[in-house]
Amino acid sequence: MERAILHVDINAFYASVECQRHPELRNRPVAVVGDPEARHGIILTANYIAKPMGVKTGMAIWQAKQICPDLVCLPADMREYIRISQYAREIYETYTDQVESFGLDECWLDITGSTGLFGSPVEIARKISSRVKFELGITVSIGVSFNKITAKLGSDHKKPDAITRIGRDNYKKIVYPLPVEDLLYVGPATAKKLRGIALHTIGRLAECPEEVLTSKLGKIGAVLKTFALGNDVSPVQRSDHVRAIKSVGNSATTPRDLVNNDDVHLMLLLLAESVASRMRELGVKCNVVEVYIRDARLISFSRQRKLKTPTCSSQEIASVALDLFRASYHWHDPIRSIGVRGADLVEATAPIQLSFYQDDRKRMKWEAIDSTVDELRRRYGYRSIQKALLFTDPLLGGISPREDHTVHPVGFFGG
């Protein structure tokens, strides 16, 4: 029996919630924005009146107001968006217990076993759309298909407030002409490589020999060809499924631009402390350290290094991240945001090969010190004990990354 998969995408989610809360704004261009005082002054999302005027996610607020002078900018209220997202999920779960989130505003639903109770997949999609509109006052676009990747193409195909069915009978007609960027996990860099070999559409990607794709993209080339052919077999996880944590990271848009290596060193220590602390809470260590950089022109990159021995030492994580940074960045521009991530996690109790080298002894001492710091902070608060270096710059050192942990779950390809 062929699967029946829905991808439900709440239209312009943050902006839709704000327009529902403020009915007087429904016929005006509205954008939800970050906090300019915290240097997050960008458009997070815009409603469907503002979008045709050129207002886009990621655009600076001042740029958006230049092209749309009547734009109403509202601050983000994440607590409210999470609340509405949970209500939407409760609606989905009345039709299936296989509901997999893809961010706050998107979910996959496997309704294969629900059609006998609630009708055809399209009928179930209509019921969900109607209930979300009536109960929450917002709209959704729903893709109806036979796998997750194609269902998402369906929800993206027509917006807002639409239902698109993509089946075996109309798959090539709808999907093959779409630009290759529309395929999930084809980002700007991958799209540029595909266009470099004249693969502009999903259809052309599907027809391209696999050996050509793997020679240009590596293993991901074969995966993308599978997706383009509509052969995705990844399951929709059950609602109570607990994902394995594959990495732990933290990043910050800094209160001022970083202009030298000392600034970067301070921030990396601060972020590495929070990442290492979280790993100790989870009882894991990392085999890979990654550093992420975004400069004042919003150009970003990341670099990573495999470690010889797993670690949860904040000092070692910061040191490796700083080495990666120094080898990769040459101060063409100041730095706006920075992040650290520990990846390829293993159990902290996993056996490792011990040695008598000085580096290994240092690591063990630093991990013991970090554990003591964790206990002191649990008892007396985060700022009860801090590295002296943080006091050299009260503005940067005053950041509290402990409140801003980002735990990165297992990715799509990890199952």
Report which of 37, 38, 78, 33 is spatially closest to residue 60, judged by C-alpha positions.
33
Cis ω before 188 (30° cut-off from 0): no
Active-site position among 24, 37, 90, 106: 106
106 is catalytic: yes
User: Cα separation of 34 and 116, whole Å?
Assistant: 45
Q: Which helix (H) or strand (E) holds 247?
A: strand 245-258
* Strand-pair category, 163-165 with 140-145: parallel
Task: Spell out the residues 6+ positions from residue 253 whose beta carbon is closer than 8 angstroms to its own.
Answer: 38, 39, 40, 336, 337
Task: Spell out the residues 6+ positions from residue 130 whose beta carbon is closer than 8 angstroms to its own.
Answer: none
Report which of 321, 316, 308 is spatially closest to residue 352, judged by C-alpha positions.
308
**DSSP letter string, 349-363:** TS-------HHHHHH
User: Cα separation of 353 and 217, whole Å?
Assistant: 35
* Number of other CB atoms surrounding residue 224 within 10 Å: 26
**DSSP letter string, 285-337:** EEEEEEEEEEETT--EEEEEEEEEEEE--HHHHHHHHHHHHHHH---SS-EEE
Q: Is 12 left (phi over 0), alpha (psi -120 to 50) or beta?
A: left
User: Cα separation of 229 and 207, whole Å?
Assistant: 8
Instruction: Give the chain's length.
Output: 415
Task: Spell out the residues 6+ positions from residue 202 whose beta carbon is closer than 8 angstroms to its own.
Answer: 175, 176, 177, 178, 179, 180, 182, 183, 228
Q: Are 37 and 182 in contact (CB under 8 A)?
A: no
Here the tokens at position 113 are 């076993």
CB-neighbour burial class of residue 245 (10 A; exposed 0-12, middle 13-18, buried 19+): middle
Positions marked catalytic: 106
